[in-house]
Amino acid sequence: MRSITKILQLGFCWLMLGTPALADSSVDLIPKPRSLVWQNGQFEVNAQTRLTYNSAQAEEVARLFSTWLQPTTGYLLPLGEGQSTNTIAFVQTPGDAKDESYQLSVTQKQITLTANSRAGLFYAMQTLRQLMPAELESQQPINRAAWVVPAVQIKDAPRFAYRGMHLDVSRHFFDIAFVKRYIDWLALHKLNRFQWHLTDDQGWRIEIKAFPKLTQVGASRHHTVVGHTYDYQPLFDDKPVSGFYTQAQVRELVAYAAARHVEVIPEIDIPGHSTAIVAAYPELSCHGQPVEVTGQFGIFEQVLCPTEKSFDFLRQVYQEVAELFPASRIHIGGDEVLKEQWLASEQVARLMQEQGLESPEQVQSYFIKRVADIVTDLGKTPVGWDEILEGGAAKQANIMSWRGEEGGIEAARLGHNVIMSPYQWLYFDAYQSRSLDEPKAIHGLTRLKQVYDYDPLPQSLTTQEQARILGAQGALWTEYVKTPRHAEYMVLPRLAALAEVLWSPIDARDWSSFSHRLPALLKRYQSMGLNPSLSAYYPQIRVENSAENELKVTLDTDIAGLPIHFTLDGEPVTINAPRYQAPLLIQTPTTVRASSWVDSQRSLLGNLQLSLAPHKGVGKSYKFKHAPAEGSEKRLLDGVLAVDQFYDVNDFTVLYGVDLDVTVDLQTSAALSKVVLGVDAGMHRQLHPPRRVKVYVSETGQQWQEVAHLNEAQIQGPVLTLTFPVRQGRFVRVFAENRQDSHDPQIPLLPLYIDELQIW
């Protein structure tokens, strides 16, 4: 395999005009083919090369290849039937028209692409594209005598039939030109399903002629929240957002995708996530009151009422949608349905009595089954998020498992076909590293390697049950993704990792191999003018308590062998900073910063920063009066501060609807003078701090002395410091009162997030 440096050297060779270009991709195909044999020699594509075909469908693929090749090379290659030397032959053979397998043969005299179907020929073309120099992707003229392709024999076929990617255009609207480019990315990576999330609380994005207010009213909002929707003091940008796709644009996009073997699956999300619908047609709610399209993000109470008026509305909507989208499936949503408005509705109460429904979950099941029947009557298969299993799912529905794998496992056992889309691995709106350079994301961390390591087939299922797993799908939700450049960064190259998960045989997948092939793919993205993330090269940090008042810090990278440079004084990392060799032992408050040196970029990458506090409470025992969220108690005394990190719930001790009241046993008596409490949720998202804080000290754990407190006026987040005259004590008790909703004093406004309880 070629080193990153070697690839750069070859890239320099490509710039020499008038000479055949050496292919940079001799081992760099993504996704990895099923069978690949390298041979001696190469084929030169020049102005005399002829494109041949033996069927109408083969001709279509040949013309797509010619269209891709022409802008950079300037070649207007002749097309025709028959075969000869210096040809690229597109050959369709008799067989299953749904077969996506192909063969690709490159010799010194000819390139031959062979498949039973147009799809197979198209995927063979995508492989040929990757065998050719990345500069061809620029679509800018380059004067060169010939372009070479290494000699190779490839036999290939996908592992999964359903290979999908999703795009949310409701939260932030993306024009049709961008959506076409998005389709192009899917096609390059041999993905064949595109789920178009067209409706949500923040905007309705598709023209429905029977209900013009859906776009006249529902496609616009007055403003959008600045920062995260749960910020302590949310602000709005006062910039209207609007946009929708006309039916003519939808047909244009569907045809564009079909030519690239991408089936477009529309999502019309009901009965929740319906604020835009209710804003346009309030009579479809249970309350009938006017509402506005929201500029916030999250989960909202607006829900369609399970009345005949709602079902008549949806019948007409889905009928128009079905006519626009020839896909075999329609996604009906069904996720995150808040049921308060149903519970308060007399109409719903009567429905429950008439239908024998005993819970709001059964109301949801009734609603979804009615909609599933509508979709089925239109000749389509309904798809829903895994919440539609609650109360019982329609038998004909496909289940898309997003809250983990559990919903997909349950659905497969119940006999449903399943598409895996667990957020822990396949939601690309999460951060890609802990670098401070990462653009704003929703929360959480989904590294490139996490995507690559995912397997859609749960081992707990039987072989028969595994057969119901159709494949998997990635997702890009766009609450915090406003621009095409940001979208490119979030999707690429995680899309490539997903592609290899879904296409390549499981026994052929290998992270080391993938990471060696990655630089050539990144070069191809950059030639396409795209903005891929380089986060896979960024360093990572692990911290553990190694001894009394001591933390052990380990630095590494997912891509092996990269040099890491670091500082321990909070200063930026340079190439002259120490190179990491062995774990670091930290005994005083320290800010660790680290970056990786990457030859292919000739620069340090990643701006990792983590503040550590090896205080007296690290690793000590503790007892809560009110239990925190399961597993989160371990974060209270780990010595790691999250205040300078992006928000990740896993960094915090989280208390839902209760106060923090914790007692720490230091095991021996110690001189104490300060307690520090992190109370906000780090960079990019700050939650409500507590209303007041008190600190107590005791030698016995029975008799307590209050030594410090902060009232509401004194609390200025995100770090609260409480100092006091030196006190001797073994036990420290900290009380932080949760802030309550100003409208309802009985309900805490938000969970209480505690970063690190430092005891000094």
Residues noted as catalytic: 336
Listed in sequence order, the DSSP H helices in 265-306 are: 275-280
Question: Is residue 264 a contact partner of residue 253, using CB atoms and an 8 Å limit?
Answer: yes
At 728, list the tokens.
């001797």
With a CB cutoff of 8 Å and minimum separation 6, the contacts of 724 are: 672, 673, 674, 695, 707, 708
Question: Is residue 275 a contact partner of residue 294, using CB atoms and an 8 Å limit?
Answer: yes
CA–CA gap between residue 166 and residue 155 (Å, rounded): 29
Strand 50-53 with 79-81, pairing: parallel
3-state secondary structure of 149: strand
Report in angstroms the alpha-carbon separations of 198 from 74, 218, 388, 397, 735.
39, 12, 19, 20, 46
With a CB cutoff of 8 Å and minimum separation 6, the contacts of 532 are: 488, 489, 492, 493, 522, 525, 526
CA–CA gap between residue 645 and residue 685 (Å, rounded): 10
At 639, list the tokens.
């010595």
Q: How many other C-beta atoms are found inside a 10 Å radius of the C-beta of residue 371?
A: 29
CA–CA gap between residue 599 and residue 163 (Å, rounded): 33
Place of tokens 């990576």: 189
Q: Give CA angle at 119 (36, 493), nearest 5°.
A: 65
Q: How many other C-beta atoms are found inside a 10 Å radius of the C-beta of residue 700?
A: 9
Instruction: Report the amino acid identity of residue 488.
Output: E
* SS3 annotation, 562-621: CCEEEECECCCCCCCCCECCCCEEECCCEEEEEEEEECCCCEEEEEEEEEECCCCCCCCE
3-state secondary structure of 278: helix
At 403, list the tokens.
């809250």
Q: What is the DSSP secondary-structure string of 424-445?
A: HHHBTTSBS-SBTTSPP-SSSB
Report CA torsion sign: 716, 719, 723, 727: positive
* SS3 annotation, 26-64: CCCCCCCCCEEEEEEEEEEECCCCEEEECCHHHHHHHHH
Edge-to-edge strands, sheet with 50-53: 35-45, 147-156, 102-106, 110-115, 87-92, 50-53, 79-81
Report cis status (omega within 30 of 0) of the bond before 31: yes
Distance of alpha carbon 703 from the chain centroid = 51
At 662, list the tokens.
């914790």
Strand 381-385 with 398-401, pairing: parallel
CA–CA gap between residue 345 and residue 430 (Å, rounded): 37
3-state secondary structure of 678: strand
CA–CA gap between residue 30 and residue 7 (Å, rounded): 16
Place of tokens 């997003």: 402
Report cis status (omega within 30 of 0) of the bond before 212: no
